[in-house]
Amino acid sequence: MQSAVLIEHLTKSYGSLQALQNVSLDVKEGEFFGLLGPNGAGKTTLISILAGLCRPDSGRAFVMGTNVQTNFIEARRLLGVVPQELVFDPFFTVRETLRFQSGYFGIRNNDDWIDEIMTHLDLTSKANSNMRSLSGGMKRRVLVAQALVHRPPVIVLDEPTAGVDVELRQSLWKFISRLNQDGHTILLTTHYLEEAESLCGRIAMLKSGQVVALDTTQNLLARYGAHKVQAGQEADLEDVFIQIMAGE
């Protein structure tokens, strides 16, 4: 199977801070892949390099076989990114925002798809509302919609459910899961480990800029949760995460 995201020996530092140290990953097409780690582990730096927001000191990154640095135009068309920060342009309505985002990718007359995204994200009633007037949860939905307007084969979600209510989380995951079933590759970072456990087929854990664990969710649970299972309890990803981060 083709690699949707291929990362080879990425290294990045900000001054004396080593954000990524020789990180390599291979996310296959159609996977729902989790990238976990504590704050400052390097997750956002890794995503920023993939998205072209940040340049690595060394190493290479590919999206659907396209080098994100040497062929950035094509690579960006193949990638949809939901940024972590709740950012928006206060001059425009939701529909204008999505039309502009679509146009930035060179796509015109995209209203059918924009309407479909808005329906799935419960944004239709807010289509003509100014971005400033939206609640935090609604703004988060627009961020997700913006990442999807060009129907990218690879979707990167950088903590998409941070600070949003249960209802949105459920509708968002339902929609993202459907996109994954349709063949989109999903790369997710989140601090909600139960979400990662239920959604991700494979997980990589980063700590201090290094990959410290990489396996299927089932294998991680089996390996690190065995003692809980033996004690008659159910293993969960939180235990796994704590053990790995503690270096056990």
Partner 1 sequence: MPIPFEYGSSFPTLLRKEIKRFYKVAFQTVAAPVLTAVLYLMIFGHVLEGRLVVYDKLTYTAFLIPGLVMMSVLQNAFANTSSSLIQSKITGNLVFILLAPLTHLEFYSAYVLAAVFRGVVVGLGVLLITLFFDVPAMQNPVWILLFAFMGAAILGGLGLIAGIWADKFDQLAAFQNFLIMPATMLSGVFYSIHSLPEIWQFISHLNPFFYMIDGFRYGFFGVSDVSPWLSLTIVSVFFLVVSGLALRLLQSGYKLRH
Q: Which of 151, 169, 191, 228 binds partner 1 (CB under 8 A)?
A: 151
Give strand pairing partners of 203.
Answer: 34, 215
- Measured between its terminal Cα atoms, the distance across the chain in Å is 33
- Where helices occur in the chain by DSSP H, the ranges are 43-51, 72-77, 94-104, 111-120, 136-148, 166-181, 193-199, 217-224, 226-230, 237-245
Tokens (6 digits) for 150 = 């060009």
Taking CB under 8 A as the rule, does residue 140 contact partner 1?
A: no
Q: Which of 112, 182, 234, 248 binds partner 1 (CB under 8 A)?
A: 182
How far is 10 from 226, CA to CA, in rounded Å? 33
CB of 147 to partner 1, least distance (A): 8
Task: Give whichever of 113 and 223 is closer to partner 1, judged by the CB atom.
Answer: 113
Q: Compute the Cα dihedral for 42, 46, 51, 57 and give only its sign.
A: positive
- Alpha-carbon dihedral 137, 141, 142, 143, rounded to 10 degrees: 100
The dihedrals phi and psi of 210, each to the nearest 5 degrees, come to: -125, 150
Taking CB under 8 A as the rule, does residue 77 contact partner 1?
A: yes
Q: Which stretch binds partner 1 (CB under 8 A): 93-101, 169-177, 216-224, 231-239?
A: 93-101
Taking CB under 8 A as the rule, does residue 72 contact partner 1?
A: yes
How far is 40 from 38, CA to CA, in rounded Å? 6
Taking CB under 8 A as the rule, does residue 53 contact partner 1?
A: yes
Longest dimension (CA), the chain: 59
Q: Which stretch binds partner 1 (CB under 8 A): 1-9, 36-44, 100-108, 235-243?
A: 100-108
CB of 191 to partner 1, least distance (A): 20
CB of 148 to partner 1, least distance (A): 10
Taking CB under 8 A as the rule, does residue 48 contact partner 1?
A: yes
Taking CB under 8 A as the rule, does residue 136 contact partner 1?
A: no
Q: Which of 34, 37, 83, 209 binds partner 1 (CB under 8 A)?
A: 83
Taking CB under 8 A as the rule, does residue 103 contact partner 1?
A: yes
Return residues touching partner 1 (CB under 8 A). Answer: 14, 48, 51-55, 72-74, 76-77, 79, 81, 83, 85, 87-92, 96, 100-108, 110, 146, 150-153, 182-184
